[in-house]
Every structure is written in structure tokens, then in C-alpha cells.
Amino acid sequence: MENIILALNICTYKRKEYIERNILKLLSSKFVEDRNSRFYGKLHVFVVDNASEIKFCDTDFLHIFYNKNTGGSGGFQRGLEKIRSFPIDFSHVIFMDDDVEFEINTFYILYDFLRIADNKYADNPIAGRMFCMDKPNIQYTAGEVWNKGDLKHIEYMRHVTAEDYHYGKVVYDSGAEYGGWWLCCFPMTFARENDILPFFIHCDDVEYGLRCGKAPIIIEGVQVWHETFEKRLTPLLGYYDTRNKLFVNEIYHLDVEPMLTLLEWKKEITRYHIQKEWLLEYYLILAMRDFLKGLDWLGRIDSGNYHEKLKKTKSYKLKNAISWRIVEKKYRKKYNL
């Protein structure tokens, strides 16, 4: 592939320490500092700040945009729109979380691979490996299999040593279906024509990767360190995980047994009910309720305002007992159960 120029798309929200450290690392790289390097000018960094608080000024290779809080989905979409309209014909766009740690070699290896890659892989994304932040030599995952929402991780919890890890080694047939947006690179031919669904947070990377439909390439050394997901769970995240999983499965016709989905949902809310976790229970009820409103509803709402409304949600035992019955009735009507 010729004329490789990368656009790095980062959405950030109130993670000033992480994002400022990462910007400084990128700005001190050969992409920016070394005019005699083959890397010079081949990476532009686009940062969408949903909290409007970082103070960096734009440079030739750094582009900052303040944004209202539209979640990761809305922030990445705003960044994608800016990349599309920028007066450079980028070959690829990289989606990357704001709270990762990385070695700059990740981007050198990625760039060099793209320069020599066979054209038959021109449409394939490249999935960055994710290592555990608190156990730096443990790879959490190399790529993802959706499995209707019951995720399977490629090379899960692999212990990496110098003897069995070869920087630049390419894996074309790992079995992965998509790459998470802790780090994932897409050809601009796909990203130019495909918007991100307004999920606010979670599963936007799943849907985008499944829509691309090409198996992600995995390269040893193209990686980040990130906090693992079980350490980030909150009741509100449970709402997004449940709602957006349902949307993804519906879009790709994976929910072939609606009754089974209903029974699994009832089992989950019952578990929280027994534990007297009323708020967790109610968020799962809301997730199903909002899924039944459809993707058109999702596209109409102001996702930031709706998120703030969800944060103020309160619940109690009697309210839940009434709400889940109403939602179940609507679900049964939708699927003629």
C-alpha cells in the first residue's frame, strides 16, 4: 500500500493526566520531531475533548476539538468527521482510548507493516493487543469474538516473555471478529463511508467491527496497556452493556431465540432483586425498555442529556416490581411471544 498517512482519533473525558501524558509522548515521536525519518509527517493526532478542559494548542500534527459530552461514541464520531474533512488524504484512522499506556514503537511497527502489506489485506482492520495495566507482562486479549455478547478473547491472559514474543510478527488468521477501541486501525476507505452508532459508550467498537466484516490482523508489538473491564463496572455501565448488546444482536440477526433472551434478562434482574440491589435491577429494566424503543429512538435523543438523566435515576422495590412486568409485556408483543 502506498502513501500511508495515519490519523489517530482519541476521545477524552475528564482524564486529563492520561491524555496530556499521551499527547506529549506522541509529539516527541519521530512522526513529529525527526524530519529525516521515514515516519515524519505520517501521523496526525485528533483529540476530541468532551469535557473541554485540556489546554494544548493546535500544531501541524495535533488537532484539538472541544465537544459537549456525547460519550465515547459521539466523541469518536466528531473526530472522524474532522478527519474526513481535513485537507490530507489519510489512508487509515486509528481509534484509541484516552486512558491507555503505550510504547511509541506501537505506531512505528503499525506504520511499517502498512507500508509493506499485501494489497489483498488493504480492507482489513488491525486490532491492537491489550495488556493488563496492573500486570504488564500479561496480555488480556489480542482480539475479540462477539459470540452474541458472551465475549471470547483471543490469546486470553497470555503470559508474555522475551523468548515467545516477536515484535512485528503478524497473525492473519487468529479467529478474531473485531478489535476493541483501546487501539484499532481501520482503512479510510471504510471509515470515510461509515458513521459510528450513537451508543454513548460500550459496544460501538463491536458494531463497527462487525459492520466492517473483515477479520482483524494482529501484530505482536502493536499494543497498549489498559485497566481490565471487571475493575471498571458500575450499575450505569450495566445499563449500556445490556441495552447496546441487544441492539448489536438485533442488527446482525443474532437473537434467533427471543424467548431465551427474555428468560436470561429475567434471571439477571431476579438475581439483583434477591440481592436487594434495586438500582442494578432497575438499570437492567431500563436497558430492555429502551432497547424496545428501537434504533430510531437512539438516533433522535440527545445522548449526553439522557446520560445525565440516567445518572440521577433512583429506584426501589415496588417500582421495579411494576416496571419489569410492563417491559416484559412490551417485549412479548414485539416478538409475538
Neighbours of 168 (CB within 10 A): 13
Q: What are phi and psi of 183, to 5 degrees?
A: -170, 115
Element (H, E) at 321: helix 317-334
| CATH architecture for residues 6-227 | Alpha-Beta Complex (3.90)
Q: Interior CA angle at 272 toward 271 and 276, to 5°?
A: 120
pLDDT tens column, 230-262: 666 788 999 999 999 999 999 999 988 999 999
Q: Given the DSSP bridges, would you call strands 152-153 and 158-159 parallel, antiparallel or unpaired?
A: unpaired
> In a 3-state reduction of DSSP, which class is residue 46?
strand
Instruction: Write a three-state SS string for 243-281.
Output: HHHHHHHHHCCCCCCHHHHHHHHHHHHHHHHHCCCHHHH
Beta-carbon contacts of residue 74 (< 8 Å; ≥ 6 apart) = 11, 50, 67, 198, 200, 303, 304
Give the end-to-end CA distance of the chain in Å, rounded to a whole number. Answer: 52
Considering only CA atoms, which of 294, 178, 177 is closest in space to residue 246?
A: 294
> In a 3-state reduction of DSSP, which class is residue 295?
helix
337 residues of the chain, pLDDT tens digit each: 679 999 999 999 999 999 999 999 999 999 999 999 999 999 999 999 999 999 998 999 999 999 999 999 999 999 999 999 999 999 999 999 999 999 999 999 999 999 999 999 999 999 999 999 999 999 999 999 999 999 999 999 999 998 999 999 999 999 999 999 999 999 999 999 999 999 999 999 999 999 999 999 999 999 999 998 766 678 899 999 999 999 999 999 998 899 999 999 999 999 999 999 999 999 999 999 999 999 999 999 999 999 999 999 888 888 999 999 999 999 999 999 9
Q: Which residue has the cell 434467533?
A: 256
Cβ distance 7 to 93 under 8 Å? yes
Domain boundaries, the chain: 6-227, 235-334
Written as nine digits, the cell of 333 is 408483543
Q: Given the DSSP bridges, would you call strands 126-132 and 184-187 parallel, antiparallel or unpaired?
A: antiparallel
